[in-house]
Structure 1
Amino acid sequence: MQTTRLPGGQLKFHALAEYLRRSIDAGTWVVGSKLPTERELAEATGYSINTVRRAVEELVAEGLLEVRQGAGMFVLLKPRSQNREASVGVLLPDLRLYFPKVLEGIKDTLEAADISLVLSTYQYDPGRESEALEQLIRSGVDGLLLVPSEARGRAAGERIASLRKLGKPVVLIERRFEELGSGDPTEFVCSHHTAGAFDAVQHLHALGHTRIALCLREHSRTGLPIRLGYEEAMGILGLDASVVVTATWDEWGPAKAAEVLDTFHQQGVTAALVFGDREAAILEAAALRRGMAVPGELAFVSYDDESAESAPIPLTAVAPSKYRMGRLAAELLLTRLREGNEAPVHQIFLKPRIVIRESCGAENGAGV
């Protein structure tokens, strides 16, 4: 069969293999993830099935991909560049909201230090999490930046023991073992969500609000520290902290928003701290449909600042320092790799800032 060449004499399957390498390097497909089928790749790239198959065979031979009979093609590991002194494994729950900015900070720091990165995600599935972590270890990384699933009670001690058995330096991101208090031995960088919520309440009070509600997404690990910050601030201000609404991700919709607005009206609420941006936007839209003035009759501060700016009336938001968190976690791990046990254990909290927009009634564009 005649082989078709691209301009410059490059074989088509070599060009496709290089494209797939770059996509994996960029995080399009991470360690442990499944690639599209050969037919889907052919349709997406315009190459023939035979060209796709030869490109896949090349990457399998390099140890980058693994073909599992009846299951498909999976990313096995990212080869370490010969010019790299070390590599760092990064385990994230997913690459949707929140963590892409954290990953950007990690990448910038490691690239500046000429350290390669091996990325894996587990989609909040504990089974996939264990497999993804094992794959990172097998890939030969020198240290780990982890956002593991939650572990409380007895599971916390088991998790700490398992991290020690890895035999690699570990820095946790947005995770810690708070139940252990000062006994938590891990190194971490976390957002101080309690302080973020505290500042949001203080901000709304400074604007003249005394009836301030809290809305939370149920079953979220961030909800508890936000509630603690809300209650602490309301207590210091001598305000009633009883108007707290919780609902699951699926329950937050127009019907729930209407119910919440009815509660606000009955309780005389004039402002609300809402976790997260999606829920705040749903509530704001419901208020506008009722003809309510935002922020005149009801002011909002959302929590996360992922999509707050795109709300009909841009939302003032508590914004965790995601990019800076990624940079700092990577810097701590690099220090640990250089200095070993001579380096102190760092347990760092980053206080979120408040990004002022139109929904709270303060001067637009300011920051707290």
Structure 2
Amino acid sequence: MEVRSTVGVGSREDLSMAYTPGVARVCTAIAEQPELARHYTWIPNVVAVVTDGTAVLGLGDIGPAAAMPVMEGKAVLFKSFGGVDAVPICLDTTDVEEIIETVARLAPSFGGINLEDISAPRCFEIEDRLKERLDIPVFHDDQHGTAVVALAALQNALKLTGRDPATTRVVISGAGAAGVAVAKILLEAGIRDLAVTDRKGVLHSSRGDLTPVKRALAVLTADQTGRSGSLADVLEGADVYIGVSGGTVPEEDVARMAPESIIFGLANPDPEVHPDVAHKYARIVATGRSDFPNQINNVLAFPGIFRGAFDVHATAITEGMKLAAATALADLVGDDLSEELIVPSPFDPRVGPAVSGAVAEAARRDGVARL
């Protein structure tokens, strides 16, 4: 990574414009009209990629220093796939209050905040409180990037198998950051029969061990259908399995799913259901890996989402913007839709513009656009 100027500084005149005395004119103008910072600085095109290093990839809590390579990689993807500048920031604290306060104090230097690899359940509170406090987009990609791409893939998988979201039975294993976000976006998209499981089984309100986040999700999911029990119990007859938990689902449980089922095993590097096993029973299989078809890759979503939000100077990223991003991704597949192609390639040059355009339009509809 590097930072480069967009203009040359090759003469005394250039220097006087880039720094003193010319730069003072810009400072004075912004002091008088703070909103001019969105026009005369890099702020409207730069995102802070912020982590505390507690949930890095599949590596877990490896700390802020070891997390830096992932944050740098994220910044490179922002630039390569969305034309968005990004600065990786690794915080040497895991305290919720300290993280919120630090990010809030840094916020005037950025057009948006991308939270990354912060462990659950702290990530939920951090994101929610920063969204309340700041007037720029705040987005936890481990939650919402995964959810957007998973929904896009599921929309196309349902189309291929002739299923209606309202009557499709879905099981999600994993109630961490990604699992909660995937569940919420599926509900927004019309899924009605949804069970979410953690290590102790289905989330339902009669359980006394649920966190506030899990309890709220239980009310929206299993409490509506009356489902309970273990993952194996709810997989029987299920149309869709989405794994965001790690671990392994026994083959005998997979075999009890509905005919022409859909299996997304998204844990990396080892999917909850290996594709070789999944293909014995499922019509459509997706993973988080690049060496199998149908990779559910967040890079399909987050660069375009921020690009679209920045293009209209959005104050937030709404549920409508996320749904629009998912639909735009699903629609890009078009006539190429098949069991081996339910989401576009990250290298499809249409992805970024399609997602950003849909997100910008949704931001205007939802009333969060300033342009």
Q: Provide the TM-score with structure 2 as the length reference.
A: 0.42
| The structure with more strand, counted as a fraction of residues | 1
Structure 1 or 2, whichever has the larger Rg, is: 1
